[in-house]
A and B are shown apart, each in its own frame.
Chain A
Amino acid sequence: MDGTALPRRLTWVVAEVVSSVDETRRARSIVLRCPGWPGHLAGQHIDIRLTAEDGYQAQRSYSIAAPADGEYVVITVELIEDGEVSPYLVEDLVMGDRIEVRGPIGGYFVWEPSLGGPLQLIGGGSGVVPLMAMLRARVSADSQVPVRYLSSARSLDRVLFRSELARIGRDVDGVEVLHTLTRTRPDGWDGLERRVDADMLQSHAFAVSERPTCFVCGPTPFVEAVSSALVALGHDPGRVKTERFGPTGG
């Protein structure tokens, strides 16, 4: 990403909340208008800083959920019960609120259509957010890159972007969408039903011979398990890109 390596001072700007939509009972997408936004690549993130009246500050990183669109930046935030920042973003933030942001950040876990594919996207929980940005970038650019999107969630009501993914999987040539549910499944569930493992990747991910670029994002144990399984299957470690988020913060 040498194009983004040009010196550019990273400064905090005040962004305005222009809309939001509940994705699940615990996750919300928030559209921020960021004055002077320089654009971004799918997979990049922003830092958000909240300041309390007494001056206490809390800072978190959130992946951007959609491709560049002028000054608009979409993040999708999942509630972490005892978190300091996510309950405010998911439950309290209203239109017109202003929060400090800086970005875009990240040059490692990024994709744009010119980088080609095939593209294997594997996300656990809210780790699907940067992968959704990549898939949306692929669709909106009308790229022909083959994509397989595999999400892992505890239950169906925790699957992010479900209806949009169903539409993309049905209507867009070259894109396959699969969900695996690890704890509870609705009656008649016809998707996958266990944690992502080597057998699942062998059956449902692109084969090693197709030389996919793999992006894996989720909680640390998920990412460790999936990336190890991909490498054990013979995928080039240099083509397995990972992004982990720990259990802390929120």
Chain B
Amino acid sequence: MTIESHRDGNALGGVLMSLFGVEMTHRRGCCGGCGAINTLGEMHIYVDAPGDVVRCPSCQTVLMVLIRIESVVRINLAQLAWMEMPD
């Protein structure tokens, strides 16, 4: 296993959809570090950590961490300033 590479937010579509109840990969989120706005599908995902780490594709700030512990997913919103959902 190598950690130099990453996937993107499309890979987390399932867990995000089960958490939020709606499709999230085309929704936008804002980095609290640099202010860049990207869709969740475009964000970088590192899956070699004990959890899934979501980073800003512009500045690599950690935006979100999802950790599976038995039957729950613990979600840490870290430096995600905001994200959008359908009203």
Cβ-based interface call for A52 (8 A): no
CB pair B26 A107 closer than 8 Å: yes
Interface assignment of A9: CB less than 8 Å from any CB of chain B: yes
Which B residues touch A249, using CB under 8 A? Answer: 47
Give the interface centre of A106, A219, A221, A242 by most chain B CB atoms within 10 Å.
A106
Contact partners of B86 in chain A: CB under 8 A: 2, 5
> Which residues on B sit within 8 Å (CB–CB) of A8?
21-22
Q: Which of A77-105 contact B (CB under 8 A)?
A: 102-103, 105
The CA of A219 and the CA of B1, in the complex, are separated in Å by 15
Chain B residues with Cβ below 8 Å from A7 are: 21-22
Residue contact B23 to A5, C-beta cutoff 8 Å: yes
Residue from B7, B18, B39 having most chain A Cβ neighbours under 10 A: B7
Distance A5 CA – B24 CA, assembled complex (angstroms): 8
- Digitize A50-68: 1 where CB-to-B-CB distance is under 8 Å, 0 elsewhere: 0000000000010000000
B17 close to A108 (CB less than 8 A)? no
CA distance A137 to B8 in the complex (A): 24
By beta carbon, the residue of chain A nearest B13 is A105
Contacts A10-B17, A102-B14, A248-B48 given; indicate if A107 touches B25 (C-beta within 8 A).
yes
| Residue A47, interface by CB 8 Å | yes
B14/A105 in contact, CB under 8 A: yes
CB-contacts of B1-31 with A (<8 A): 1-2, 5-11, 13-14, 17-18, 21-27
Q: Is residue A4 within 8 Å, beta carbon to beta carbon, of the partner chain?
A: yes
Q: How many cross-chain pairs have Cβ atoms below 8 Å apart between A and B?
A: 88
A47 to B14, Cβ gap below 8 A?
A: yes
Interface membership of A235, Cβ < 8 A? no
Q: Are A242 and B23 in contact (CB under 8 A)?
A: no
Bound Cα distance A219, B7 (Å): 8
Q: Given the known inter-chain contacts A5-B86, A105-B17, please indicate yes or no for A248 contacting B2, CB distance below 8 A.
A: yes
Give chain A residues whose Cβ lies under 8 Å from the Cβ of B18.
Answer: 9-10, 102
Q: Could you tell me if B7 and A1 are in contact, using CB atoms closer than 8 angstroms?
A: no
Is A72 interfacial (CB 8 A cutoff)?
Answer: no
Q: Is A106 in contact with B13, judged by CB distance below 8 angstroms?
A: yes
Interchain CB contact under 8 A, A108 and B42: yes
Mask, A148-189, CB within 8 Å of B = 1, is 000000000000000000000000000000000000000000
Q: Does A6 contact B (CB under 8 A)?
A: yes
Task: Let me know if B51 is at the binding interface, CB within 8 A.
Answer: no
* Residue among A2, A4, A47, A221 making CB contact with B5, cutoff 8 Å: A221
Structural contact, A247 and B5, CB atoms closer than 8 A: yes
14 A–B contact pairs at CB < 8 A? A2-B86, A10-B14, A105-B14, A105-B23, A105-B25, A107-B24, A109-B41, A244-B8, A244-B10, A245-B11, A246-B5, A246-B45, A247-B2, A248-B2
* 10 closest A-B pairs by CB: A108-B41, A105-B13, A107-B26, A47-B14, A107-B23, A108-B26, A108-B25, A246-B7, A244-B8, A220-B5
Apart from A108-B39, A108-B42, A244-B7, 6 more pairs, CB < 8 Å: A2-B86, A9-B18, A45-B10, A102-B14, A107-B41, A108-B10
